[in-house]
Structure 1
Amino acid sequence: MRHFLTLADYTKDEILEILNLAKEIKTETKNRVFKEYMPKQTLGMIFEKSSTRTRVSFETGIYQLGGVGLFLSSNDIQLGRGEPMSDTSRVISRMVDMVMIRTFEQSKLEEFAKYSKVPVINGLTNEFHPVQLMADYMTIQEAGLDKDLVVAYIGDGNNMAHSWLNMAAKLGFELRIATPKGYEVDNTILENALNEAKNSGAKIVISNNPKEAVEGSTVVTTDTWVSMGQEDEKEKRVKDFDGYIVDNEMMKLAHENAIFLHCLPAYRGYEVSEDVIEGPQSLIFQEAENRLHAQKGVMVWLDKQRDK
């Protein structure tokens, strides 16, 4: 049985296989064909962090696949009252067919997966956001930019930056990450990606220079400077990230056919300007829609692994 906890657990071929499946399902959906790949199956959706895209995409996705989603906030189940993650896992995984968790520490997700009898999907943790990267890369493929790909990630060295490291290391493209000093990516995650890059041919460049990172890139992406749980740091972070806004001047440094991506929610005037997010290079809403299709690909693929 396979889980989907981080892209580091997957091979290049497996990632591309899931994406091909996702594109096939998306085409069917656009043609109003809803094959019941997972009839009568139940997806338990545990949320310790609030969400818009994650909840709607997973709940809609499992329904379109023929199943049903159960929304379980930490306030609604005993996990929020101190029940051990291992106990919650052993109970819930006996009642549902698959589990998606959106939580804080990656270790909590891994503990749940350790005791689970069914596949577990990472809907977001503090360290990684792999389902978002699947949607992002799917969007890149649709834009025809997956060949000779150069991604510039500008901003906080957070879960998105870590997942970009994993994706680049697996698929072998060039990734440039520019963060302010003191906001760099986790060194262990970076070292693991660099080791993987030796086999895939990926080029990974880490710097504190956003303009240098964007120069000639084909994809420019960023994330909020103030993630959930960091609200009390907002004033300091806004000051520390001065010069890291992706605006028209920044985008002019990228390749003329470059696109802009953002996992959303976006805070206009902070990490990205209004004119970029609403401009012709922005594919953020196509990217957001692809959360639905990419995650359907992940769920169907995981379900198929149980039959092998």
Structure 2
Amino acid sequence: MSTRHFLSLMDCTPQELSGLIRRAIELKDLRQRGVLHEPLKNRVLGMIFEKASTRTRLSFEAGMIQLGGQAIFLSPRDTQLGRGEPIGDTAIVMSRMLDAVMIRTFAHSNLTEFAAHSRVPLINGLSDDLHPCQLLADMQTFVEQRGSIQGKTVAWIGDGNNMCNTYIEAAQQFDFQLRVACPEGYEPKAEFLAAAGERVQIVRDPYAAVAGAHLVSTDVWTSMGQEEESAKRLKLFAPYQVNRALLDAADPAVIFLHCLPAHRGEEISQDLLDDPRAFAWDQAENRLHAQKALLEFLVAPQA
């Protein structure tokens, strides 16, 4: 049987993804009730971080500990990757010593190259193309607050970045309609749009995007690695700020999500995270539970 990796939501079936969400909710309940659950005792996760992280590192490291295992943090400075060792060679060595690997990187090709040489599961902790672990937490949050997202309408406001690409995949896998409101020239990648077909609509007016939407989400206007474009982006994206007035144009039961960190006064208004329709803090916590479900799914328990 070939090794299962999680580089994209498309690496799982819709049924498997729904099962992961259900399991995440169960694991959250176990933790809240103080029930010890350690199926990954003596298992070790290696974590390579080429990009800065708060939620990804905390959730994977704490998640492995809570499941009875351990996690090892590595940056390029700490490994021979930083001195030019080929990714494939690193993958061969790491996968002989570890039970799973998580990588947070820039180029998505780094993940596919590592996975091609790894005998243990590889998890995408974020790449320039996709952020599938975040979408597991987003979908868990929606299910907890409003039930099934199937058949609902979701609005993405702002940059067509890796989060937007992953929402496009989520629309296919979780069966919802997606409207993306972005400035011209900042659309999500063409290959993701082509794969989704009529399930995704690109609009320029954020109010048109949120009309009747059950979920509204956004992200920072300047992602890691784009800092030199910040001034230009601030001006161009100003009409795409998500605020209370924009949410008022959505479905009355709308919820707002943000993967964090948030730049208040930019992609969201200063007060938006205090709005009762905003669930960003639950969403952030759910990174822990959703990833525990994923680790449990991918990593074989100790015999």
Contact 1:2–1:305 under 8 Å retained in 2: no
Which residue in 1 is equivalent to 2:23? 21
Structure 2 counterparts to residues 146-295 of structure 1, below 5 A:
146-147=148-149, 148-194=151-197, 203-295=199-291
**Deviation beyond 6 Å, 4+ runs, structure 1:** none
CA distance in 1, matches of 2:245, 2:252: 13
Question: Is 2:270 the counterpart of 1:303?
Answer: no
C-alpha distance after superposition, 1:80-132 (max 9, x if no partner) = 11111001111111111000000001110110011001000000000000000
Query: Residues 81-160 of structure 1: matches in 2 within 5 Å?
Result: 81-147=83-149, 148-160=151-163
CA distance in 1, matches of 2:157, 2:300: 37
Return the alpha-carbon distance in structure 1 between the equivalents of residues 147 and 162 of structure 2. 23
Partner amino acid, structure 1, of 2:96 = R
Residue 94 of structure 1 aligns with an amino acid whose one-letter code is R
| Cα separation, 2, equivalents of 1:123 and 1:306 | 24
Post-superposition Cα deviations, 1:198-219, rounded to whole Å, max 9, x if no partner, equal xxxxx32111121100111111
SS at match of 2:101: strand
Q: CA deviation at 1:146?
A: 2.4
CA contact (8 A) 1:214 1:250 kept: yes
Q: Partner letter of residue 159 of structure 1?
A: N
Runs of 5+ unmatched residues, structure 2? none
CA distance in 2, matches of 1:183, 1:123: 23
Sequence identity, in percent?
48
* Between 4-13 and 263-272, the greater mean CA deviation after superposition: 4-13
Deviation at 1:34, TM superposition (A): 2.3
TM-score normalised per structure 2: 0.96
Give ranges in structure 1 of 5+ residues lacking alignment: 198-202
- What one-letter code is carried by the residue in structure 2 that aligns with 1:240? L
Measured in 1, the distance between the counterparts of 2:7 and 2:301 equals 15
The one of 51, 63, 66 aligned to 2:53: 51
Q: CA deviation at 1:145?
A: 4.3
Code of the aligned partner of 2:152: L
Confirm or deny: 8 A CA contact 2:39 2:302 kept in the other structure: no
Residue 162 of structure 1: SS of its match in structure 2?
helix
Q: Is the 8 A contact 2:244 2:275 kept in 1?
A: no
User: Residues 239, 306 of structure 1: CA spacing in aligned structure 2 closer, same or farther, 3 A cutoff?
Assistant: farther
